[in-house]
Structure 1
């Protein structure tokens, strides 16, 4: 009768001794380290997501505001802003073609056969005229090859040059004024009204809208057959 309680006591004693003398697997700081790793990983993911969102839109990636080195330091500020040369004199395809076009060397020499004929900066122009090889300008404003863009459509629908290209008449060296990204273009396609003006005014720089511009723009949307409800369809830009 006295052995059963003894076995129970011995079992409880043995159970209480389990684990004594075994090495400790985790240090006392393990919980703190685990918390640091978990929260640090979460913070790193958030930072990476923020960088992935902001960096592609930054001027560093888009090139906005940075002029490109050109074979001839052509100044829109001088030619457009000071001399008042119309955009179409050099970009003669802008009203009728998908590409605005770049001026042939002969167009440049229309003036420079008489003006600044021996200027060092114009040496590439003279060499181009002699060799017949076009000047290799660096493209400042462009969209990817898989994007269909037509200058003539935009100009004839009342979208001005400065809407996309900025105030080129103030640019000593041409630079990109806007990202021309899909996001940027869709903003206008969804709501084109604020960027419209009468087609005869699209080549004017620093155009000042009249007081009734909102009504004019509403009329232009109808008159120029502009359909914002379909302008965000994929096929409009990807054909």
Structure 2
């Protein structure tokens, strides 16, 4: 009986399977690289100007919303334009070498390229405004940023971390008027949280639905 496949068929089949395996492994590595935040926890992120939240927020008492003006109305907290910085720095520390990139940007119109501290993959939907509207404080995700001379990431932003809050939101909610008070502490979080879940109309039955974050 004649041979159906040529002798070299086995070699070609093995090479094809090996190639397919390499493609799958490469795709997995590329996906992991795309969704993994390049910054380690508690590692200060280098910026063109070493902006200090501690100085601006804690020392000078500047409210988060002065710079992040869209945080209550938009899905994105917003990076302040140079004009916001120059509200003060057109008069203060104008000759400071550390602020030269800021001054140059203002004069030339070439924007500064800030490095993202928090980065979610494209397949995750996140909206800043809804979290603030439901009483999630800045400190829950950003930590005591008012104590950071240089901004760093303090939470993993992993799916498990997010779901942990979505399973029990009452553990993290606060009155809306306290959302931007980074030092605020509740007397009885469980009782307050249960009350706010009802008051804010949070449907805890849907908080872990996949479609909530993956649209």
Per-residue displacement from partner, 1:39-68 (whole Å, max 9, x unpaired)? xxxxxxxxxxxxxxxxxxxxx976110011
Tell me which residue corresponds to 2:157.
Answer: 180
Per-residue displacement from partner, 1:168-199 (whole Å, max 9, x unpaired)? 01100000010011110000000111100001
- State the distance in 2 between where 1:221 and 1:127 align: 48
Tell me which residue corresponds to 2:53.
Answer: 76
- State the distance in 2 between where 1:146 and 1:206 align: 33
Change (3 A) 1:62 1:183: farther
Greater C-alpha radius of gyration = 1
- State the distance in 1 between where 2:144 and 2:176 align: 18
How many residue pairs get aligned? The number is 180
> Alignment partner of 1:218: what SS?
helix
Which of 159, 163, 168 is the equivalent residue of 1:191? 168
Unaligned 5+ runs, structure 1 = 1-59
Unaligned 5+ runs, structure 2 = 1-36
Shift of 1:210: 2.9
Is 1:200 equivalent to 2:191 in the alignment? no
- State the distance in 1 between where 2:140 and 2:46 align: 23
Tell me which residue corresponds to 2:33.
Answer: none
Shift of 1:223: 1.4
Change (3 A) 1:61 1:102: closer
5 Å-filtered alignment, 1:1-239, equals 63-211=40-188, 213-239=189-215
Shift of 1:206: 1.4
**Which runs of at least 4 in structure 1 moved beyond 4 Å after TM superposition?**
none
Shift of 1:147: 0.5
Higher normalized contact order (CA 8 Å, seq sep 6+, divided by chain length): 2
- State the distance in 2 between where 1:124 and 1:62 align: 23
Shift of 1:159: 0.3
Per-residue displacement from partner, 1:148-184 (whole Å, max 9, x unpaired)? 0000000110000010000001100000010011110
TM-score norm. by structure 2 comes to: 0.80
Per-residue displacement from partner, 1:108-148 (whole Å, max 9, x unpaired)? 00000111011111111111111222211000012111100
TM-score norm. by structure 1 comes to: 0.72
Contact 1:62–1:179 (8 Å) recurs in 2: no
Shift of 1:215: 2.6
- State the distance in 1 between where 2:151 and 2:116 align: 10
> Alignment partner of 1:102: what SS?
coil
